Amino acid sequence: MWFNLIAVLVLGVAVAGVTMLVFRAFGRRPPRWLLPIAAGVAMMSYTLYNDYSWFGRTAGALPDSVRVAQSYGQPSPLQPWTYLVAPVNRFVAVGRVVPNPDEPDYRLAEIFVLQRYMPTATVTAVFDCAGGRRADAVDIEGFDEAGEPIGGPWQPLGPDDPLHAVVCDGARTATS
């Protein structure tokens, strides 16, 4: 976040300086209003680019084995234009998915929660694809003889849940 603030300020000063140099090269003085307007337009343009391209740049940098399941945009009262089109500042991605060889309906999945200006959170969860539910592996105390997780509270997932769709898609599973 501090890097972005410094980059915006440096960009504003640089654009104002270049504008002044161009006018000086032609032997003229720039109008008093032009330098602040040029700096402001450049700073606003960079801020908009940076906010609205974060999701594409971050998701594009992920390995091919990681798939984005869901993204979230959030408007901000400090940026009123975000109420028209909110930039994506958080998304959930699914990494490695491993099926249970004894219970083909159960899959163990690595889930990544990426949020702007925050460290990435990683959660390992067990998905019951047939039952439409999931349990975080942190809450599970182990597995019983039938391969059922012990102790974890199951969270129901709807049939249109994006995590369920990505994890339970048969083509996404890995065997190792």
Percentage of the chain with pLDDT > 90?
Answer: 52
Helix H, strand E, coil C: the string for the chain is CHHHHHHHHHHHHHHHHHHHHHHHHCCCCCCCCHHHHHHHHHHHHHHHHHHHHHHHHHHHCCCCCCEEEEEEECCECCEHHHHCCCCEEEEEEEEEEEECCCCCCEEEEEEEEEECCCCCEEEEEEEECCCCEEEEHHHCCEECCCCCEECCCCEECCCCCHHHHHHCCHHHCCCC
Write out the two tokens for 23: 């006018």
Single pTM value for the model: 0.77
Where along the chain do its domains lie? 2-60, 67-172
pLDDT at 77: 93
Rg value, the chain, Cα: 24
**pLDDT tens per residue across span 109-159:** 999 999 998 999 998 888 888 888 888 877 666 666 666 666 667 888 887
**pLDDT tens per residue across span 54-74:** 999 999 999 999 999 999 998
Mean pLDDT of 11-40: 93
Tell whether the model's pLDDT for residue 171 goes beyond 60: no
pLDDT at 155: 84
pLDDT at 17: 93
